[in-house]
Structure 1
Amino acid sequence: MPDPSRKQAPCGTWTSPITADVVAAGATPLSSVALDGGDVYWLAGRASEGGRTTLLRKRGNSVTELTPAPFNVRTRVHEYGGGALLAADGVVWFSNFADNRIYRIGPEGGEPAPLSAGGALRHADFVLDAARHRLLSVREDHSQGATYPVNTICALSFDGSETVLVDGNDFYSSPRLSPDGSQLAWLSWDHPRMPWQGTELWLADIAADGTLVNGRLIAGGENESVGQPEWSPGGLLHFVSDRSGWWNLYRFDHGVVHPLCPRDAEFGGPHWVFGNAMYGFMSDSEIACTYIEDGVSRLARLDTGSGALTPVDNPYEEIRELRVQGTALAFLGGAPTIATEIAQIDARSGQRQVLARSIEQLPDIGYLSVPHSIRYPSADGRTAYAFYYPPQNQDAEPLPGELPPLMVIGHGGPTSMATSTLKLATQFWTSRGIAVLDVNYGGSTGFGRAYRDLLRGRWGVVDVEDCVAGAQYLAGQGLVDRERLVIRGGSAGGLTTLCALAFHDVFKAGASYYGVSDLKGLDADSHKFESRYNEYLIAPKAQADAVYAERSPINHSDKLARPMIFFQGLDDKVVPPPQSEVMVDALRARGVPVAYLTLEGEGHGFRKADSIVRTLQAELVFYLRVFNIPVPEDLPAVEIENLAQ
């Protein structure tokens, strides 16, 4: 029966308060949660100040900004950064983006004082070695110019001098000092591996002069990914390993590695940035941890003796950067109706306090689509996972008998994962009557090692098959209109989009945001951290050229027969304009409907508010016109070549 309180209107035309301007205003980026005594620290982005990141501290009931402009708390170690601050004993140290110097803020506050020389030396992932008056960190030395930087673990003395403690590997992370200061643990790995393929956990003693001796391998290797080493208060080393096929927790005790809580769940994640944490010690006998099952985060207390998990009640489905101090837990949390926020929870009482929100004012819940976590059959008998967002608008409903269009999204990375945390960019579509499927295709994290490795050598195949299968599954369930299936993606997701349209005949239209059409071009522009990534995703160098040619959409533009819209930043150095232009020219010449919007002053990823507004509105208009849906008068005109008026 029709709902008399709702207006019937064609899907895609529903009036929504989640406008392109609201999406462009965006969320305040929040990161780097830290606990020190009774204080909580975190970083917040300042869009109005050119994207500067500032450090905030909550002490008692007041929040103080500790790094006024022009300080920008950020590091670019591994280019993705993270781990840019340390708070300990009332003192804060942080990396400043502009000069790469480490600054110190004393317990009394005041102007940050420089500690390091900066320049070509970048630092991240700090640890305080108080007894030796120094910080330990991962250091990246860019002084060699055009060659790749040199990564080490170094000691930064409080007099500003630096000493390399560990070198020889391509990458390092997670230096962790034992509670008595006598030992140091760390992670390392080498090309061509990415850290989610294989890392090594090392342990060494610290000599009287502060150098390391008696280094020995504790866990890990070419096919074992180890992460987040941490020391218990009593001095036992713990870590996460995927040796069982899942990132589970382990303890190293007198030369023997013991599993703590064997479970088909992920207690760790891929190392894209420094500083991620999914567990911490409440005491020697109890760990607070978060773990992922079927793409959803859980929060629990873990008894280190019995391995029993006790749930900690909370409203979140995504939990990141968990910090633990006694019973106090602080983290980044999000859920389908909760945008990312910083929360503090007492692990025993469950009492919760929200310290900061990425979006202060959310739309009424009646306009928010709550996703369903689904699994469905895909190619070769495998199962794929996704979040399905049905259309939702408290003021509107479809015309009688109308099924909504479906937009399929493949996340970037591609070794990453889609989460259910509220995103206004998704709600922009669902509140207008367009369903969304956010796919965790084979290769995504959060579903175990075997699922993650499905993308090994098959990027542009498995991800595409799972997006295609997801659209077909929903259409087969009678939830969406089979004749109005679209796919969109940016960068790596753009490759998925282009491959889906070139090699499959399921989607009726697509949108590519600075999408990768030429795989060979990626190798030329990659930074050190990702420079061998394609050997995992595509093929070893010896076979790469043939596979690149076979799988790059730029070589198969003659197979593109569906309407497409392309968005391209003219300053993009990662995926330069010619990658889009070749595809646009091919569609134009063959009479296929095509639109092409270029944006001055934008690079790889659009950051200007007016660019976000323009592209969202243009993409909406494009779909409406392609599917012959009336275009609301308040939307701008979009030139679509080869489309009959």
Structure 2
Amino acid sequence: MTLASREAPYGSWKSPITADMIATQTLSLGEVAVDGDDVYWLEVRPGERGRHALVRRTADGAVSDILPIPGEGRPAYSSRSLVYGHGGGSFAVSEGLVVFVNHSSTGTHPDQRLYRVNPGRTPVPLTPDTGGKHRYGDLSIDRSRNRVLCVREDWRNLKDGQPRISLVAVDIDGQKQTVLMEGRDFYSSPVLSPNGRRLAWLAWDYPCMPWDGCELWVADVDEDGKLLHPRLVAGGSTESIFQPEWSPQGELYFVSDRNNWWNLYRLQGRSVVPVLERKAEFGAAQWSLGMSTYAFISPRHVVCAFNELGQWKLGRLDVVLGQFAELPTPFTDISQVRGGFATAYFVGGGPEQPASVVRLDMESGKPQVLKASSRLPEELTPYLSRCEPLHFPTTELGEAHAWYYPPTHPDFTAPSGEKPPLLIMNHGGPTASASTKLDWAIQYFTSRGFAVVDVNYRGSTGYGREYRLSLYGNWGVMDVDDCANAALRLVQEGKADAKRLVARGNGSGGYTTLSLLAFRDILRCGTSAGGIANLETLTEHSDKFEAHYVDQVLGPLPESKQLLQDRSPCFHIDNIKRSPILFIQGRQDVQAPQRETEEMVRKLRANGVPAAVMLVDGEPYGPRINADIKKALEAELSFYSRVMGLALADTLEPVALEPAPSEPPRR
């Protein structure tokens, strides 16, 4: 705040952080791979309708697209896997050879074939066109046998309505595919030892999710590439294994939560020995393939990311001496950790650092941003709200966690005694966590005078296995309790206005928002973007990966039919007596279908509760293209303004709320 600060009510401050800036200047960064001195990464570009562009940076600093730029008469290649519905591991590179999974549509279906590509050349398919019935992911290259190892999802050969899964080898110079392993519901993480003689992988079966329990297997590989003597070496239905990785000497490392925390272990003979034990998470919920939290940067040194109390850090481990040291960096959200010689690469973000592809020189300790997801002009830094940890008591004598963002503006202050409106954010998953990296959507609201609380309710990752699994049987109860109690704690501390509590969420985060509205009477209003309203619909339309997720979190059908209805907000919409709702609805969303949203809106309006619907194209969980991102943010702010009587500095198109809400006093 400056000496010349002007007094204005919370929610009315004029901010240079605009929806147009967020929509047009922000992209997502995905998978990272290292090949010698070159580094590759994915960019998800809203300006190209969400295309996944594969980018290479060479040792001399030259950056170029690997896939042909879409244009007149040229197909729009996009490196994205659809395996398990969440994809991952969509490309691999070795000695300049790039193989990727193409997501672009060829006619009425996504391609999903494997292609090899040389920079500047047209990609060449390695696998036949099956009409999208064969999907591939978790790619790695077996250079000595000239083949690609990967997970294959076969939609031509269903089992109980779900595609069959196998580990396969695909010849790089032909279209021959060899099944290496099959028979399990899921496979992931095929990784070949440095000498090419052993293969490790993960496997698990329904109803487990990989963070519930999975198995680590190892097999010998003969000269022809066949697997011999497969053997289980770790894991089970009550132990989660993450990221098997071979050391340069051929020792097998992996992450396990056998001591409640995802810590690093090594296979020594037939024994599993701890490499580093700490009350921190060196792994993460494997929502997608190709995830990585650690990498070897020399024969004896590992660089690893770890999550401590909900915040990611970076460390360096000497696996011989067992010495571990934290590495100071400005990054608090770290993923896709890869190693080069004495060099680490990762995607990192922090409170004042947009998610970026980063190169970290291990000798100097200096990080170098190779690509940022957005630009942070120096003049916007004073407008950034810095998150503060919030730990608070909740129901069942429990404790939950959150990140609190105070309203922040260098030129405005609120009238004495006024408390800010509080925006409660609910992350998706629900087995996931709130990030502390720079989130422009949060800053969009805090720079206008909103407070924000981003809740890591019980069931979130980052706090150990016991905390993570505590939501099982309690989804729709504990998460709702924790979000409510986070808000009430901030009200007690004088940091939020009890009469202006609002909530927003996407997907399963939208489920928590709708549950807060239907089962707790504390919210002034709420925004649901593709929020799950009917848990039976979710179970009927889940992808392969989540087909039995609700079985774990609540219970299987038909035995748990009544419980699912009891916890589904759409069956209790009449409980909402006074809190308006904005629905951001995807036209193609099958888990939160438009017909169910329209039925909820009809009931709300019949009960005199104002409701509005904003339709967007594309996939579930909110808008993906520039125009829809901008429109959704502005609609949300306009909605809050109209419901709470905020005198906005922005000129926005009013949201069509029906019936019209009673006019609150303008602030």
Q: Secondary structure at the residue paired with 2:454?
A: strand
Q: Report the CA distance shift for 1:278/1:189 in structure 2 as closer, same or farther (over 3 A).
A: same
1:149 counterpart = 2:163: yes
Aligned mates of 2:192, 2:650 — CA distance in 1: 63
Given residue 438 of structure 1, which amino acid in structure 2 is its aligned partner? D
1:389 counterpart = 2:401: no
Aligned mates of 1:56, 1:632 — CA distance in 2: 40
Aligned mates of 1:411, 1:350 — CA distance in 2: 32
1:636 counterpart = 2:653: yes
Q: Report the CA distance shift for 1:246/1:95 in structure 2 as closer, same or farther (over 3 A).
A: same
Q: Secondary structure at the residue paired with 2:84?
A: coil
Deviations 1:361-394 (A, max 9, x none): 4461111111112211111111111111000111
Aligned mates of 2:615, 2:545 — CA distance in 1: 28
Deviation at 1:360, TM superposition (A): 2.6
Given residue 643 of structure 1, which amino acid in structure 2 is its aligned partner? P
1:569 to 586, 589, 600: 586
Q: Report the CA distance shift for 1:236/1:600 in structure 2 as closer, same or farther (over 3 A).
A: closer
1:544 to 553, 560, 568: 560
1:590 counterpart = 2:607: yes
Deviations 1:89-120 (A, max 9, x none): 222111111322222235x7633332222532
1:449 counterpart = 2:465: yes
Q: How does 1:328-477 map to 2 (within 5 A)?
A: 328-362=343-377, 364-477=380-493
Q: Secondary structure at the residue paired with 2:276?
A: coil
Deviation at 1:515, TM superposition (A): 2.0
Aligned mates of 1:502, 1:30 — CA distance in 2: 36
Aligned mates of 1:57, 1:625 — CA distance in 2: 47
Q: Report the CA distance shift for 1:101/1:463 in structure 2 as closer, same or farther (over 3 A).
A: same
Deviations 1:448-467 (A, max 9, x none): 10110011121111110110
Q: Is the 8 A contact 1:566 1:580 kept in 2?
A: no
Q: Secondary structure at the residue paired with 1:529?
A: coil
Q: Is the 8 A contact 1:328 1:347 kept in 2?
A: yes
Deviations 1:207-249 (A, max 9, x none): 3432111111000000111010011111111111011101100
Deviation at 1:129, TM superposition (A): 1.9
Aligned mates of 1:118, 1:421 — CA distance in 2: 40
Aligned mates of 1:623, 1:209 — CA distance in 2: 64
Aligned mates of 2:435, 2:614 — CA distance in 1: 30
Aligned mates of 2:626, 2:139 — CA distance in 1: 34
1:95 counterpart = 2:112: no
Deviations 1:21-46 (A, max 9, x none): 22222521211111111111111123
Deviation at 1:321, TM superposition (A): 0.3
Aligned mates of 2:117, 2:611 — CA distance in 1: 52
Q: Secondary structure at the residue paired with 1:554?
A: helix
Q: Is the 8 A contact 1:514 1:566 kept in 2?
A: no
Q: Is the 8 A contact 2:335 2:347 kept in 1?
A: yes
Aligned mates of 1:105, 1:600 — CA distance in 2: 34
State the match for 2:278 in structure 1: 263
State the match for 2:540 in structure 1: 524
Q: Is the 8 A contact 1:523 1:531 kept in 2?
A: yes
Deviation at 1:354, TM superposition (A): 1.1
Deviations 1:488-526 (A, max 9, x none): 222212211121122222222222223222111111111
Q: Secondary structure at the residue paired with 1:393?
A: coil
State the match for 1:38 in structure 2: 37
Q: Report the CA distance shift for 1:225/1:77 in structure 2 as closer, same or farther (over 3 A).
A: same
1:134 counterpart = 2:147: yes
Deviation at 1:642, TM superposition (A): 4.8
Q: Is the 8 A contact 1:622 1:638 kept in 2?
A: yes
Q: Secondary structure at the residue paired with 1:364?
A: helix
Deviation at 1:359, TM superposition (A): 0.5
Deviations 1:271-301 (A, max 9, x none): 1111111111123322111111011111111
Q: Is the 8 A contact 1:169 1:189 kept in 2?
A: yes
Q: Secondary structure at the residue paired with 1:460?
A: coil
Gaps of 5+ in 1: none
Given residue 506 of structure 1, which amino acid in structure 2 is its aligned partner? I
Normalised to the residue count of structure 2, the TM-score between the two structures is 0.93
Deviation at 1:145, TM superposition (A): 6.8
Q: Is the 8 A contact 1:412 1:490 kept in 2?
A: yes
Aligned mates of 1:623, 1:49 — CA distance in 2: 30
State the match for 1:19 in structure 2: 18
Aligned mates of 2:436, 2:650 — CA distance in 1: 32
Q: Report the CA distance shift for 1:42/1:242 in structure 2 as closer, same or farther (over 3 A).
A: same
Q: Is the 8 A contact 2:354 2:375 kept in 1?
A: no
Aligned mates of 1:112, 1:23 — CA distance in 2: 33
1:115 counterpart = 2:126: yes
> What root-mean-square deviation, in Å, do the aligned CA atoms of Structure 1 and Structure 2 show?
1.8
Aligned mates of 2:213, 2:650 — CA distance in 1: 55
Aligned mates of 1:491, 1:279 — CA distance in 2: 29
Aligned mates of 1:618, 1:127 — CA distance in 2: 43
Q: Secondary structure at the residue paired with 1:125?
A: strand
State the match for 1:75 in structure 2: 81
Given residue 495 of structure 1, which amino acid in structure 2 is its aligned partner? Y
Aligned mates of 1:487, 1:48 — CA distance in 2: 28
Q: Secondary structure at the residue paired with 1:111?
A: coil
Aligned mates of 2:575, 2:384 — CA distance in 1: 37
Q: Is the 8 A contact 1:29 1:45 kept in 2?
A: yes
Q: Report the CA distance shift for 1:430/1:133 in structure 2 as closer, same or farther (over 3 A).
A: same
State the match for 1:613 in structure 2: 630
1:327 counterpart = 2:342: yes
Given residue 397 of structure 1, which amino acid in structure 2 is its aligned partner? T
Q: Secondary structure at the residue paired with 1:587?
A: helix
1:316 counterpart = 2:331: yes
Q: Report the CA distance shift for 1:289/1:601 in structure 2 as closer, same or farther (over 3 A).
A: closer
Q: Report the CA distance shift for 1:569/1:206 in structure 2 as closer, same or farther (over 3 A).
A: closer
Aligned mates of 1:282, 1:214 — CA distance in 2: 31
Aligned mates of 1:201, 1:325 — CA distance in 2: 25
Stretches of 4+ moved more than 4 A in 1?
none
Normalised to the residue count of structure 1, the TM-score between the two structures is 0.96
Q: Secondary structure at the residue paired with 2:83?
A: coil
State the match for 1:64 in structure 2: 64
Aligned mates of 2:439, 2:28 — CA distance in 1: 12
Given residue 616 of structure 1, which amino acid in structure 2 is its aligned partner? L
Q: Is the 8 A contact 1:566 1:584 kept in 2?
A: no
Q: Secondary structure at the residue paired with 2:27?
A: coil
Aligned mates of 1:637, 1:180 — CA distance in 2: 64
Q: Is the 8 A contact 1:30 1:43 kept in 2?
A: yes
Deviation at 1:632, TM superposition (A): 4.3
2:256 to 233, 238, 241: 241
Deviation at 1:633, TM superposition (A): 6.6
Q: Report the CA distance shift for 1:284/1:612 in structure 2 as closer, same or farther (over 3 A).
A: closer
Please say which of residues 29-38 and 142-151 is displaced more in the overlay: 142-151
State the match for 2:107 in structure 1: none
Q: Is the 8 A contact 1:457 1:535 kept in 2?
A: no
Please say which of residues 118-127 and 282-291 is displaced more in the overlay: 118-127
Q: How does 1:262-281 map to 2 (within 5 A)?
A: 262-281=277-296
Aligned mates of 2:524, 2:315 — CA distance in 1: 44
Identity of aligned residues (%): 42
Q: Is the 8 A contact 1:625 1:631 kept in 2?
A: no
Q: Secondary structure at the residue paired with 1:142?
A: strand
The aligned length equals: 642
Q: Is the 8 A contact 2:317 2:323 kept in 1?
A: yes
Aligned mates of 2:96, 2:220 — CA distance in 1: 28
Q: Report the CA distance shift for 1:297/1:377 in structure 2 as closer, same or farther (over 3 A).
A: same
Aligned mates of 1:249, 1:496 — CA distance in 2: 33
1:489 counterpart = 2:505: yes
Please say which of residues 69-78 and 406-415 is displaced more in the overlay: 69-78
Q: Report the CA distance shift for 1:289/1:335 in structure 2 as closer, same or farther (over 3 A).
A: same
Q: Is the 8 A contact 2:422 2:452 kept in 1?
A: yes
Q: Is the 8 A contact 2:294 2:303 kept in 1?
A: yes
